[in-house]
Amino acid sequence: MMPPSQTVYGLNLEFSGSLEGTILVALNEDGQNEIYQIKLNEKNIRDKYTFDWYVPYCELKIIPLTYESGDVLIKYRFLSTSVN
């Protein structure tokens, strides 16, 4: 959770690893309504995404579609500005 003196305006996600199969990454802010979806199906994953995002929290759902094996590392960062 961000301190109250900061305003969130974006979200960075970075995926790395390897994957045999296809997974879907769904992002939402309320536990129900998906806002963005990312489909990963590469053997060697090195992908970066930046989204408009205006709340200091995010839920990621990892949904295997045709998953066989692999490891995927997810790094995230909220983009914010200080409010004075």
The beta-strand segments (E) located in 1-84 are: 6-20, 23-28, 34-40, 44-52, 59-64, 69-82
Output the tens digit of pLDDT for each of the chain's 84 residues. 555 567 999 999 999 999 999 999 999 987 777 888 999 887 899 999 999 998 888 999 999 999 889 999 999 999 998 765
Half-sphere exposure (Cβ direction) of 57: Cα atoms closer than 13 Å? 6
Which residue from 65, 55, 5 is spatially nearest to 27, judged by alpha carbons?
Answer: 55
Q: Give the pairing type, strands 69-82 and 6-20.
A: antiparallel
Task: Determine the distance from the C-alpha atom of residue 49 to the mean position of all C-alpha atoms in its chain, rounded to a whole number.
Answer: 8
Q: pTM surpassing 0.85?
A: no
